[in-house]
């Protein structure tokens, strides 16, 4: 039996590569991305299923999990890959000119996509995985989650949070057959 895997941010970059690899390994892959066209393109390439998804919307993640489990099968692997960073040096230091308010929108975007989306996904899939006796949650972080980088404090802070959250999940659910990887 093929496993069902969901990949957020599956329409581009690392997510696209993950989708291709999972499909090559025989998984049924749900390519979830805010960019519906990109998700559809990847899903067509790998004979997967495309879904548009805004990972910052908890109800959208919950609905996706319910839909996938009802129409495709139990999710054995959920990969939270969607992420955002700005990389322009404007999201880091507190400046005398702009103060913290100039960065609030970027901090919120990073926090919601890089951290809360992983929390929302865990809330949606862990109870189901517990009932089945296992599963695998992968939260894509970054080297910035281990070693901060210059110029984008919001990105670095959220990637540190991602690593810590994933470690906490591993401690709390590892003995229940749910593997967590960051």
Considering the candidates 155, 157, 160, 178, report the single residue annotated as catalytic.
155
Give 4-86+135-181's CATH code, choosing from 3.40.50.410, 3.40.50.2300, 3.40.50.720, 2.40.340.10: 3.40.50.720
Q: Has residue 24 got a pLDDT over 90?
A: yes
Angle (CA) 117-9-78 rounded to 5° is 60
Domain segments of the chain as ranges? 4-86+135-181
Q: 79 and 5 in contact (C-beta within 8 Å)?
A: yes
Going by pLDDT thresholds of 50, 70 and 90, the confidence category of residue 31 is very high
Q: Is 155 a catalytic residue?
A: yes
Q: Has residue 148 got a pLDDT over 90?
A: no
39 burial level (CB within 10 Å; 0-12, 13-18, 19+): buried
What confidence score (pLDDT) does residue 90 get? 53
Going by pLDDT thresholds of 50, 70 and 90, the confidence category of residue 83 is confident
Distance CA 157, CA 148 (A): 8
What confidence score (pLDDT) does residue 142 get? 62
Distance CA 33, CA 130 (A): 26
What confidence score (pLDDT) does residue 13 get? 96
pLDDT in tens, 86-106: 665 555 555 555 554 447 777
What confidence score (pLDDT) does residue 156 get? 82
pLDDT in tens, 34-74: 999 999 999 999 999 999 999 999 999 999 999 999 999 99
């Amino acid at each position: 039996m093929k496993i069902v895997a969901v990949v957020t941010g599956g329409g581009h970059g690392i997510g696209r590569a993950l989708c291709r690899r999972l499909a090559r390994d025989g998984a049924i892959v749900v390519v979830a991305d805010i960019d519906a066209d990109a998700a559809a393109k990847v899903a067509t390439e790998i004979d997967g299923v495309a879904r548009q998804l805004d990972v910052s919307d908890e109800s959208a993640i919950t609905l996706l999990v319910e839909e996938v489990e009802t129409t495709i099968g139990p999710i054995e692997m959920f990969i939270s890959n969607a992420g955002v960073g700005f990389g322009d040096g404007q999201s880091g230091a507190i400046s005398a000119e702009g103060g913290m308010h100039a960065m609030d929108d970027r901090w919120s975007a990073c926090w919601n996509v890089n951290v809360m989306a992983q929390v929302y996904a865990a809330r949606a899939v862990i109870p189901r995985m517990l009932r089945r006796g296992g599963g695998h949650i992968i939260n894509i972080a970054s080297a910035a989650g281990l070693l901060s980088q210059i110029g984008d404090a919001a990105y670095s802070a959220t990637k540190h949070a991602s690593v810590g959250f994933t470690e906490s999940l591993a401690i709390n659910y590892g003995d229940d057959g749910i593997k967590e990887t960051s």
